[in-house]
Amino acid sequence: MIHYTCDLCKRAIDPQEDLRYVVKIEISAAFDPVVGEDEDDRDHLQEIQELLEQLENSHGDQIGDDVYQELRFDLCPECRKRFSKNPLGREVAKLLDFSKN
């Protein structure tokens, strides 16, 4: 039998009694087009070749996490509620935007 544990509170999740929620987070680098370059003058094959050479000369794992990452978490019902209310983990006082007087 597979055992599940909530990745936030570490409570065991019994699939017979509790709902288990799966949170998937996908993080990818946003590449904006270069402004100011004339598209007609670009050598796209040369740019690809240069990128491939850079990948060969560096640590592939480091570049991979910087460009793309996929995360997966199991949550119990209580932690799912908390996560849904505040998915980025911001402080509550900042969310409410209290004045400083």
Q: Phi first, then psi: give them for residue 63, nearest 5 degrees.
A: -70, -40
- Least Cα distance to 33 among 21, 20, 42, 45 occurs for 42
Q: What is the DSSP letter of 36?
A: S
The pLDDT, as a whole number, for residue 15 is 86
- CA–CA distance, 3 with 58 (Å, rounded to integer): 39
The pLDDT, as a whole number, for residue 4 is 94
- CA–CA distance, 70 with 9 (Å, rounded to integer): 21
Q: Identify the segments of the chain with pLDDT beneath 70.
A: 33-40, 58-63, 92-99, 101
The pLDDT, as a whole number, for residue 26 is 93
Q: Tell me the two tokens of residue 95.
A: 């969310």
The pLDDT, as a whole number, for residue 32 is 72
Model pTM greater than 0.75?
Answer: no
Q: Report the SS3 class of residue 38.
A: coil
